[in-house]
Every structure is written in C-alpha cells, then in structure tokens.
A and B are shown apart, each in its own frame.
Chain A
Amino acid sequence: MTHSAIVRIPATLAGGLLLALVVGTASPTPVEGQSLLSAGGLGFLTDAPDARSRMLGGVGIGLSGSHLMPNDPAAAGRVGLPGISATMEAGVDTPDEGERAGRTRFPSFGLIYPTARLTYFATFSGFLNQEWQATARPTIDFGDQQVEALDVFEASGGISAARIGVARAISDRVSVGIAGGTYLGSMERSFRRDLNPADVGQQVESFVADGIWRASGTNIVAGVNMDALGMLRLAGSVTWSDDLTLDPTDGTPGDPVVVPLPLEFRVGGHGTLAPGLALAISLYTADWSESAEALGDENAPGRIWQMGGGLEWAGGSILGRQIPLAIGVRQRDLPFSFLGNPVQERAVTGGAGIFLSDTETTPLARMHVGMELGSRSTAEWDESFLRATVTLRLSGS
C-alpha cells in the first residue's frame, strides 16, 4: 500500500459510524422472519458465515491473511494469537407481491487458540434455516351451515454446525486443518385453524397441531491452504456429513426423519492484481438430490453451485486505521425447490473493514461490514433482499 493511496475520512463521520454500529449490534434480537422461499425442504443454506467473504461475494474460503473461518479450517493454521470472532447479520426481504419481512441472526461464532505447533479452534455456525408462514381462509360446509375458518401454518427453525478442530502450518506456504462436530438445532412446524365464532357460537377453541424435531448428525470439514508466488492464496475444503437425523420431540408423533447430506466442496483464491488491489474468487458445489428426495422434493435442482468474486482495495483509512473496501457479485442455487420450481439467488455485494488494532504481523482487532443487494426468483415468486453482515475479530496474548 502506498501512502498516497490512503483516503482520509473525517473523524466526526468515523465516530458516527462507530456509534451506529454499537446501536445496531448491541440488541441481541432473536431470529426473525426470512424469505418465503425458505419454505422448500429444510430452508436456506447459510451463506458464507463472515462479513469479509460476503462483501467479496465469496463462499467463505481462500481469503488472504490469518483468520478463523468455519469452512476453511486450514486458514486457522496461520493465526498466531488466541482470539474470538463473531458475526451478526440483519436483512430485509421485499417480495414483488406481499409484505416486507425483516430478520436478524448470528451466523457464526468462533474461538481459536494457537500453541507452538498446532492451532486449536471451535466454531459454531449456521447451516440450514427457515422462517415463514402461510395462511388460508377456507369455508367449511356442515351441510346446513357454512363456517368460515382461518388456517395458519408456520415453519421455523435453524440447524447449526458445532465443531472443534485443529490446524497446522506445515511450511511457510502451506497449512492444513480439520474440524469435526455435530449438527444442533431444531425444526418446528405449527398448524392452527380457527373457526369464526360468529358462525359457530361461543367457546370456539383453536385447533393446533405442532411438532418439533431436534437435529443431530456428525460432520467433518478438512482443508488445505497455500500461498503461491508471494501474491496468491489458494484454498480448498471438503465437508462430509453423516445423515442428518431429525428426532421428533416434546410429544411430536412420528418416526425420526433421516436426511442424507451431500459431500460439499469449496475452493477459493485471493490474488494481488496491483498494490493495494486484490481479486477474490470462490466456488461451492454439492449434490443435494438425495437430501431433497428424502424430503419428498422431486423438483429440486440436485447439484447446486454457488460462485462469486470481488475486488478488494486496501486504500482507505480513518484516524490512521486502514479501511479496506470491497465490491463483488455472486450467484447461487438453493438446494430445495419452491412449489416445484428451482430457486436462484443473485446479488451485488460490497462493504468495508476497519483494522482497529494490528501488530506488525498479526491483526488484533478487525471489523468488516458486508452489504448485499440481490434478488431471488422462481416461476412462482420474485423478491429482492438487502442484507448487512458484521464480523468482529479480536486477538490477544
């Protein structure tokens, strides 16, 4: 980075931005609504679980520097100090027809502890999630009487992957890592029917049928991470999962639902194009056809792809702190269909980071904010979305 390339931002604006961040992140709001398109199967796959990947349109692998990424275990091998990282996201989805829905969630949390030879870490990151409801107003025929009813169906829940792992830099240029753990979380379904008291009479009670399924299942992610030519970072990882078992609980009738999960591949790279300017590209693929089949989704796309890339410019600064800026694009398929139609998502991405405190070789406190403006479309439904993601990384000895 050349000193002349640094853009200086006024101190008052910097203070305002920090205050806004505190206000925004200090409210531990639970998970709220999500896209109606998550109605297919077990919902959406969680995107890259950190803000820097999102602002570059990536899938969470192969970025430069030393950091902890749930799906890039080898990257932890280059971390020199213990630390934590946490990510929060907030977004709104606006369908072409229907009401806007907002949400907040915490896609990932990580803890890392390097020793002389090995680096140990633990991550907790989102995997699948959904949050939607559908309503209907049927008229019920009792022969001599027509009764109006209101039906409400709600589906919600989230499945996360909790892992512990170890990584090691096996040379100056190559590191490897592996992590294993289990899936956690639950899926909930609730159906309620209310008859119109004006048609039936007093003391009409709601009919409610609901169920909760607890998730479990082993998963392992292994990866390699290497530097080449002094200006290129390449990484790859593969995630293996045992069957995802969803056990009915809290009186939910039925047998456990067993969903086979695919082998997931991620590759990515980050290369310097010019001083202060870098290009990041990454790709994800997995064959979800067996999973969809187990859930009765006959029109799911099967193998899905996510790819994206972006440019990162490490040129700005606030109060002498480096402010990297990024812009990118990405596209992905969703693993399950919506009303029998496959769903695609596209987004323009961007964002910025702030290096609050770094030693000469090791980052101590960094924060990234990623923005995504995109759309999802099927034959039955179109919507746009706006999402912001914040990741905070803290390290110290």
Chain B
Amino acid sequence: MLGGFCLLAGVAGCSDEMPTSTDPALIPVTVQTFEVTIPFEDFGRQFRVDGGYGSPSALSVNRIVFSGDGGLEVRPLLRFASAPSSISVFPPGESQSVADSAAIPTGGRVTVQLDTVRFSGVPPFELSAGALNQEWDHLSASWTNAVDTLGGRQPWTTPGGGDPRPLEQFSWDPAEGNALVIELDSMTAAEWADLDNLQRGLILTSSTPGSRLRISSASLQLDLLSSINPDTTVQVTSPLTISTMLLDQTADFEDGRMLVGGAPSFRSTFRIELPDSVSATGPICAGAPSCQVALTADRVVFAGIGFQSIPQEPPSLAPADSLVLDLRPVLSPERLPRSPLGVPILPQGRTVGPGQFEEGGETRIEIPVTRFIRDLARAAPGDAEQPPSMVSLISAAEPSGIGIASFGAVGTPQAPVLRIILTATEGVTLP
C-alpha cells in the first residue's frame, strides 16, 4: 500500500514520457520526399532591371581613381574645409597676439595619400589633378550632372567633372612613396578658402588603362598672409570634409541579364508565379512512371532560388569586394521602380565573393525562400489579402561598391531556377 502511494506521488508529478520505438515498421504512413527544379520561364514573370539607387557619396570607400578598360571610368571629387574665420598673429612690436580675420590666402598644397598595397594595374600611373570650376552637389553629382536635385539639375559642361583647371600631373609609382603633393596657386587657394564658394573641389583623373587606386586620406594646407603683420604667413590645415565619385558606366549589358550592385545600384526584379502542380516519380505515383503532384504549402519543406553568377563584361565592372545579396519582396509593384521593399527573405543575406564574377568562377548561388513560397502556395486567388509575389534581388547596402554583380540572363541556360523540396503523403489514417 505504501508502494502504491509512493508510485502515485512520483508518477503524478513526472513529465511526459512517451513510449517510443525506433522500428520504422510501426510508422503507418507512406511518405515521399523529392526535389523538383523549375526553370525561370515556368515561374518568373515581369522581369526588369532598374538602376539609380543610392549615391556614390554614401560609399564608405568613395575615393577611388579608376580608369577601366572601356567599361568604367571613376573620378573622385574632394572638398576640404574652408579657411578659419580668423588667425592669431602678433602685431609688429607687440608680444600679445590678436585675432586677424582678414588674412589673405596666398597659396597652399593638397597632400593625397594613396594606398600602396591595394591597387590594380601596372605602375607607373599617370594622374592629373584639377580644380573644379562649376558648382557641384556631392549628394547628387553624377558623370553627367554637377547637380541633380529636383528642379535644379545642372549638367557638367563636359561630362565627368566639367572642364577643371589643371593643377598638377604625376607619374606615380607605389614603390616610390604614397603621397602626392599638389601645389595651389593664390587664386585657387583663395577660392578654396571661401566657405560660400560651392565650386571648390579637387578632381583626380587617371589616364592609365586598367588602373584602380584608392585614396586613403587627403588634406589641404593653406598659406594665409596676415593683414595685421605683413611679415607673418600662417599655415592652416583644412581636413577633407566631402568626397564622392563620378562614374561612367558605358557597358552595354546583355538583354535580360540580372544586375545587382554598382554605384548607384542596380536591382533585378521579377514576379514569382507558382505552377499548380509539379512532376514527380516514385511511390507517390502509385505505380505510374510519373505523375503530377499538387504544389501545396504544407508539402513545401524547402525552396530556394538559384542565381548563376557569370563573369562581368568588361571585367573592370566586376565587384572588387565581397557583396551581400538580399532578396526582398516588392510591396507595391505598381510603384516600381520606387516601390518600397519588405524585409529580406533571408535575414542575413547571402555573401558572394568577387571571384564568382571572374572567368571560371561561375557559381549557382541559392537563396532560401521557403516561407515566401509557402505563403504564395497557401494564398487562394480570391483572398482579400494576397502575399507579395514580386521580389527584388539587391545588394544589402546600396551602394556597396562600384562593381556590378551579374547573374545569368533570363532566356538562357544560366537563368535562375527555383528548387523545391516537397514531402507528400496520402495523409495519416486510422488505426
């Protein structure tokens, strides 16, 4: 009797202990898991590529001098802080300094530090520096426009930075040093010391094909002649405050090619239209060599869209660094190309390396879209609220670099495919 009480007390308080067998013969369910690959023409619709997202000025590394192989030209624009409103000088014969707010710029120099490790091309590199002579806006400046704001578009007099006033020319070899010093005349110094002068800026150009150089830092040193003591010249340093790049992308991309990235960035967008059924073989066909299995949400256990990376042409347009791809739902397709996008379908994105866009580096990059596909398969045509069916393949940061990632063109064997793993059963039954 005591044992009975103790057993009751013990078992009544224990957690679930389901008797479990590892004998598959006890599982009375016929189940089949199989994989289908659906070509783009069977699920992709309304494919489009849009560009112009983001500004090069938003790039964390936006100071690149690039002279491509005909496909890309990049010129950095640098703007420095203006001169201080006053300098401190000693009047003649006095030992107490006073503020001089009327100092006169008489000259100066820009020191540009170039990265001697990360560069492309064959040295020496032929570089030229010039002073911009058109007003420009770093947030909207492009190869063709100095200012491209709403209602205030102002094209460069010559695409690619107008007609800058030449300052200096160099033949730079990284083995000989990392600094370029550009001397400024009094007129240029006076212009760049003026806070209200919206023209002030330095443009760097490379004329060596295939060169790709990074500016690691730059600063301006102005010589200011005191108006109180003409014997005194004060040197003040102005840091780099604004930088952007002008990019000339002249490549003609293959029609239907999926493009992602660049500065500004490209996006590739298409609508997914699932077939009602997929072809299957095996036990689920009940003896038939093949059969059609309805594509229902509960059967989809995995779905992924595979994008085939292809070498960029010309190679100078290929990404130079890793790129994070995002696939995001298009929330208002009717507002494309300015539709808002939903959260990434794969939250952490998919990182691809630059090698995958080089010759011989072609890879199929799969982005899982299981929940997205299940939502699509679950939606009935008459439902008041339909889940998004359009997706955009974008770079996680726009822009993330000047390189453009290319994926197999629609209508070619390299076009995207939708891989779905389904599990199907006739259902559980009694007993």
Interface residues of A, Cβ cutoff 8 Å to B: 17, 20-21, 23-25, 27, 29, 32-36, 39-42, 88, 90-93, 95, 98-104, 131-136, 138, 140, 142-143, 147, 149, 151, 153-154, 187, 189-191, 193, 195, 200-211, 213, 246, 252-254, 257, 295-297, 336, 339, 351-352, 369-371, 386-390
Contacts and interface: CB of A to CB of B under 8 A. Distances in A.
Contacts of B10: 24, 90
B370 A91 contact: no
5 contacts: A29-B13, A103-B17, A191-B428, A209-B428, A297-B431
A25 B13 CA distance: 10
Contacts of A40: 431
Interface string B394-428: 00000000000000000000000000010101011
B16 interface: yes
Interface stretch (B26-34, B107-115, B268-276): B26-34
Question: What DSSP secondary structure best describes chain B's contact surface?
Answer: mixed
A239 B53 CA distance: 79
Nearest to A43: B431
B18 interface: yes
Given A189-B430, A200-B302, A90 B11 contact: yes
Given A90-B12, A101-B17, A135-B21, A153 B28 contact: yes
B11, B23, B303, B425 pick with most chain A CB within 10 angstroms: B11
Contact of B427 (A95, A209, A388): A209
B49 interface: no
Given A134-B27, A201-B304, A204-B302, A33 B17 contact: yes
Contacts of A246: 430
Contacts of A371: 1, 3-4, 7
Interface residues of B, number: 54
Given A134-B22, A253-B427, A23 B29 contact: no
B286 interface: no
Nearest 8 A/B pairs, CB to CB: A24-B8, A24-B9, A207-B423, A203-B368, A90-B11, A134-B26, A20-B5, A388-B4
Contacts of B6: 20, 24
B301 A207 contact: yes
Contacts of B7: 24, 90-92, 371, 386-388
Interface in B14-54: 14, 16-29, 31, 33-35
Nearest to A155: B431
Contact of B431 (A91, A131, A208, A295): A295
Contacts of B29: 153, 191, 209
Contacts of A370: 4
A135 B22 contact: yes
A91 B12 CA distance: 9
A244 B154 CA distance: 85
Contact of B5 (A24, A193, A297): A24
Interface of B: 1-14, 16-29, 31, 33-35, 298-304, 346, 366, 368-371, 374, 421, 423, 425, 427-431
A207 B5 contact: no
Nearest to B32: A140
A390 B8 contact: yes
A296 B28 CA distance: 12
B300 A205 contact: yes
A205 B1 contact: no
Given A189-B429, A191-B428, A23 B19 contact: no
A133 B20 contact: yes
Given A189-B428, A202-B346, A98 B26 contact: no
A67 to B, nearest CB: 20
A339 B302 contact: no
Given A25-B12, A40-B431, A207-B423, A201 B368 contact: yes
A151 B24 CA distance: 9
Contact of B1 (A35, A103, A133, A369): A369
A381 to B, nearest CB: 8
A203 B4 contact: no
A136 B28 CA distance: 12
Contacts of B12: 24-25, 27, 29, 88, 90, 104
A262 B292 CA distance: 43
A117 B259 CA distance: 92
A138 B118 CA distance: 51
Contact of A102 (B2, B17, B366): B17
Given A21-B5, A98-B20, A213-B430, 12 more contacts: A17-B1, A33-B18, A132-B20, A134-B26, A136-B24, A140-B33, A193-B31, A203-B302, A211-B428, A370-B4, A371-B1, A388-B11
B21 A36 contact: yes
Given A339-B26, A369-B5, A149 B17 contact: no
Contacts of B25: 339
B431 A41 contact: yes
